Amino acid sequence: MNTILERLKGGLIVSCQAYEDSPLYGAEIMARMARAAEIGGAIGLRACWTQDIEAIKSVTSLPIIGINKVIKPTTDPVNDVIITPDYESASVICETGVEILGLDCTARKRSYDDIANLIAKIKVNYPNILIMADISTLEEGLHAADIGADIISTTLSGYTTYSRQQEAPDIALVRDLYANTDKPINAEGRYWEPAQVYSAFDNGAWCVTIGSAITRPELITRRFTQSIEKYWQNKQSHYQEGGS
């Protein structure tokens, strides 16, 4: 078994990413976020873009899942492949020395043969880097396993129109992948509570990745403020109905 995979088994990966519209945007801030995650016990990190990855590597030795989100003015976030969509976007991430490359392996606007050729080219030129396949359905996960992915991740469940749409994590996809492939499974997407993480492990996850619930304070704050708003609305309704 690959030593990197062994390091990740049973642990938490923290995704440290911020877009330009976030107050936390910037390589130095993401490096601080990554260091904080390591202090908190994370066993791996997920990071985007070369400048962030290089900054993070300067402050921690944790394994990094590197991705390259390519977003253009014409990008359709639902139907276009954004996460490391081609060899050029993959190679610049691999050159940073990441241990794992995150790759969208959904067959949107391309075939599984196209993805297989991309994975094969990456493996020829970067044989020591593992490939994590970001998928949204069981079919995509099984195809990714067959065409050379080393880790299967549920990252994109709910982010494609044809995958399961729900607020909670897609535990069923974790379970189905575990039952149908021997590749390690990374459970990712909408994990907010420890109980959800336990459920992922109970259903076969090798590791769990959490982003927003740890590294996006604006979303964490919004969860609380929206909950408080509902609290006061329910309180008001109760009084209006004659409650005490």
- Determine the Cα–Cα distance for residues 244 and 241; give it in Å rounded to an integer: 9
Residue 243: predicted pLDDT: 63
The distance of Cα 19 from the centroid of its chain, to the nearest Å, equals 15
The burial class, CB within 10 Å (0-12 / 13-18 / 19+), for 50 is middle
Task: Confirm or reject CATH 3.40.630.10 for domain 3-240, answering yes or no.
Answer: no
β-bridge partners, 16: 47
Residues 6+ apart with CB under 8 A from 143: 105, 107, 112, 115
Residue 20: predicted pLDDT: 92
- Determine the Cα–Cα distance for residues 230 and 236; give it in Å rounded to an integer: 10
Residue 238: predicted pLDDT: 77
Residue 244: predicted pLDDT: 55
Helix (H, G, I), strand (E, B) or coil at 103: strand
Counting as low any pLDDT under 70, the low residues of the chain are 1, 242-244
Residue 209: predicted pLDDT: 98
CB 29, CB 177: distance < 8 Å = no
Amino acid in position 188? E
Residues 6+ apart with CB under 8 A from 63: 4, 7, 8, 43, 44, 45, 99, 100
Helix (H, G, I), strand (E, B) or coil at 164: coil
